[in-house]
Every structure is written in C-alpha cells, then in structure tokens.
A and B are shown apart, each in its own frame.
Chain A
Amino acid sequence: MSIPLRSLTRTLTRVSRTTHNPSIIRPIVLQTPPHFRQIVSRTPAAAQFSTSPIRLKARTIGQIRARNATGPFSWKSALLFVLTGAGMIVYFRVEKERLERKRVAEMSKGVGKPKVGGPFVMKDLEGRVFTEEDLKGRYSFVYFGFTHCPDICPEELDKMAEIIDKVKEANKGENVFLPVFITCDPARDTPEVLKNYLREFHKDIIGLTGTYDQVKQVCKAYRVYFSTPRDVKPGEDYLVDHSIYFYLMDPDGDFVECIGRQDTPDSATKTIMEHINDWKREGKPLKKD
C-alpha cells in the first residue's frame, strides 16, 4: 500500500509542477497574447489540475503578470497541497485498516478455509429451542464456560458485561449485539442455575444449555476444547478445562474474530465496533429491534 501511495504522490507532484511551471505558460503568453485563451482551452489537463482557475478570467497582460508575479507556489496553493496530501494519507490509512478487517472477516467465508461455528441445537433458559439460526441477523458474541469455574470465567464475564454496555452505547442503544453464554457443563448447569449465575453479570446475556451430546456438538463446531466428564455421579465435585475465547460472529453466522484474555473491555469494544461499522457502511442487513 505504501508503494502505490508514494508513486501517486510523486505523480501528483509531477502534475502540479508541470501545470505551475511558469516557463511553459508565461513565455507563450507574453509573446502571443491573442492566442492565450486558445492555448489554455486546448490544454484541458492544465485547466483540470490547476489550483488557480482564475487565470482563465484574466483579461489583460497586466493582470496575468500581476498574478504570476507571486509565482506558482503561493502560500495558498502550498497549503492546499499539504492539506490534500495529509488528507490522502489519512484516507489511505483508514482504508487500509478497513480492508485488513474485511480480509480477516472474510477469511472464514471462503471455501476450504477453517470454519468456526455452524449448526447446533441447544435450549435457552426459558426452555425454547435455540439454534445457530437464532444467532443470525445481529453480531453475536459467544462465550463458553461453566458456572463452577473458579476464577477465569467470572473475570471474563465481568469483562463481557462491560463490553455489552460499551457496544450498546456506541450503537446508540440499537439492539445489534447478541451476547451468548454456552455451558460446557450441562450436568450441573441447568437453566435455573445458569439464570441465577448470569443474572449477576448482565441481564442481556443469553444462556444456553442442552444434553451432553448437544454441548459436545456445539463445542466441536466452535473448535472449543473441553474436558467435561460424561457420566458424573451426583454430587461429584470437578472442574472443566475449556478454551477461553469470545467468538465474534457476523449477522450471516460466520466467524469474524476472537477476543481473548489479553483484550481489555475498551480494546474489545473497539474491535467489535469496527466490524459493526464496516457492516453498516456496506449497507448489509442488520436487525436493530
């Protein structure tokens, strides 16, 4: 990106140098004043790139001379040149970042690329069936965990709560973001247990649970490692090892990016909002109700 930018700047400089170079225009003008307008109109490139079209309006040689007396590089044109250049640099940087995010976002859409996410059937805490279709239409934020988790999950869920509020604020209250908590420990995490647990973090978090095989299936789809034993004796105390990432999924249900332990609520919100804004800018459908 930096090379085309540099060559473009170079071209621009060259063009402006040619159009402003008095040695080309002035001698002709002075020697053959009657043809001046013709010369100008015959060179549309000059008219197009010139930052001082007022030249065309000059009627007498005196006016032309007065205008050229300051030279082509007046402070105004220099300022304009610098501002345009700075503007373009900023624009190219922004555009570069956007394309980079787009590349990341579309990486999982291609054929033969690693796919995170996919079909699953679980139940929400009201007992309704919840599948991957229910995630679509909004950006979803999926986290896997279990309620008997000693320290990492609670910390991450506190972070999730902060992210939910920050993203909501950044979207001016639009309901475009769907935070989801999927349990890896269905034997202990029944709807009632999950409901009480999640309520302490954020009311917007949707808790999902299911049978052992359903949980296994969704973890497989999201490439989540978990170590929940299948047959747990009632009352047995155990921990579950599991992957600790947040998965950001786009409204098509495709994986976009991981948010990990190293992210702060602010850096995570920034990443999420960049993707949401890109999606909005491209005019793609997004549920807001």
Chain B
Amino acid sequence: MGWLSWSSNPGQSSDGGRIAPNRTSRQRCWEARDHFFFCLDNNDIIDSVKGDKDARKKCGKEIAEFESACSTAWLKYFKEKRVMEYNRDKTIERIKKEDAATVQDLKSQGWTAR
C-alpha cells in the first residue's frame, strides 16, 4: 500500500531522493493494469482517458485497483500507451491489407511473384 501514500506524500529516501517502486510493487501495478485493460477490451473501450466516464462506469472495480497500485505518472503512461499501440497495430494491419490488395491487382495484370 506504499503506493497510495507515495502519490500524496512522496516517500523520501534519507539522502533526499525519491524511493522508487521495487520489483513487487511494479509487479502489482502491471497486474492491476492488465486486469483493467482486460475489462476495457471486453467493453470495447480503447481510450480510457477520453472515455474515462465510461471506463469508470463499466470497470469501476478494476480502475480503482489500477489507481491504487500505480503512481499517477504511470497511470497516464499506460493509458496513453494502450491507445498508441492500438493505433500502431491498426496502421500495420491497414498497410498489410493494402499490400495484399496491390499484389492481387498486379497478379490480375499478369505479374508473378518470384
């Protein structure tokens, strides 16, 4: 539960630094993130920043868990990364389809792939 106190009252190290999340708390944050994203997937929500209201309504339990396990900067990072990866995958898919269509088109004109 170090995370909650961490975001409101940062854990200072004795030499003035900020205590970083350790392996266990990172793991906990990643698991909470995966649960939350799984719920978003099931509800067809990609962008949980713009669709915050919707996400909170449909995945209330998961988002609470996610927010308690990760720091604010990480929450934002993971939510944005999800959108970025979705768009990236869609772009790759689109390019592949276009490529396939071009090949089909060329083949119909008598071109053969070597």
- Do A and B form a real pair? yes
User: Which residues of A does B touch, CB under 8 Å?
Assistant: 147-148, 150-151, 154, 187-194, 196-197, 200, 234-235, 237-239
Partner of B78 from the list A150, A187, A234 (CB cut-off 8 Å) is A150
Q: A148-B71, A154-B26, A200-B22 are in contact. Are A189 and B77 (CB under 8 A)?
A: no
| Contact partners of A238 in chain B: CB under 8 A | 73
Shortest distance between the CB of B3 and any CB in chain A (Å): 11
- Indicate if the CB atoms of B17 and A189 lie closer than 8 Å: yes
Instruction: Say yes or no: A190-B30 contact (C-beta < 8 A), given A150-B77, A237-B72.
Output: no
Bound form: Cα–Cα A200–B16 in Å: 21
Question: Roughly how many angstroms separate A184 CA and B9 CA in the complex, as a whole number?
Answer: 23
Give the nearest-CB partner of A200 in chain B: B23
Report Cα–Cα, A154/B29, bound state, in Å. 13
B25-69 vs A, CB cutoff 8 Å, 1 = contact: the mask equals 010011000000000000000000000000000000000000000
CB-CB under 8 A from A151, the residues of chain B are 30, 78
Given contacts A190-B15, A192-B14, contact A239 B20 (CB under 8 A): no
Could you tell me which B residues sit within 8 Å of A by CB distance? 7, 9-10, 13-23, 26, 29-30, 71-74, 77-78
A187 to B12, CA, bound (A): 11
A193-B13, A234-B10, A237-B7 known; A150+B20 contact, CB < 8 A: no
Given A237-B7, A238-B73 in contact, is the A188-B22 Cβ separation under 8 Å? no
**Chain A residue at minimum C-beta to C-beta distance from B27:** A154
Do the beta carbons of B21 and A148 come within 8 Å of each other?
yes
A192 to B17, Cβ gap below 8 A? Answer: yes
Q: A148-B20, A234-B10 are in contact. List 9 more A-B contacts (CB 8 A).
A: A148-B18, A148-B73, A150-B77, A188-B17, A189-B17, A193-B15, A194-B17, A196-B20, A237-B72
- Docked CA distance A239–B72 (Å): 10
**Contact indicator A197/B20 (Cβ below 8 Å):** yes
Q: How far is the CA of A200 from the CA of B23 in the complex (A)?
A: 7
Q: Could you list some 8 contacts between A and B, CB below 8 A? A: A148-B20, A148-B73, A188-B18, A192-B15, A200-B22, A237-B71, A237-B73, A239-B73
Residues of B near A237 (CB, < 8 A) are 7, 10, 71-73
Q: Which residues of B contact A239 (CB under 8 A)?
A: 73-74, 77
B20 touches A193 (CB 8 A): yes
Q: CB within 8 A of A193: which of B18, B72, B73?
A: B18
* Complex CA–CA separation, A171 to B63 (angstroms): 48
B74 touches A150 (CB 8 A): yes
**A191, B19: Cα distance in complex, Å:** 11
* Given A154-B26, A237-B7, A238-B73, A147 and B20 contact (CB-CB distance below 8 Å): yes
Instruction: Give the chain B neighbours of A188 by CB distance below 8 A.
Output: 17-18, 20
Q: Are B10 and A189 in contact (CB under 8 A)?
A: no
Name the 10 nearest CB pairs between A and B, nearest first. Answer: A190-B17, A147-B20, A193-B17, A188-B18, A235-B10, A192-B13, A190-B15, A237-B73, A150-B74, A192-B15
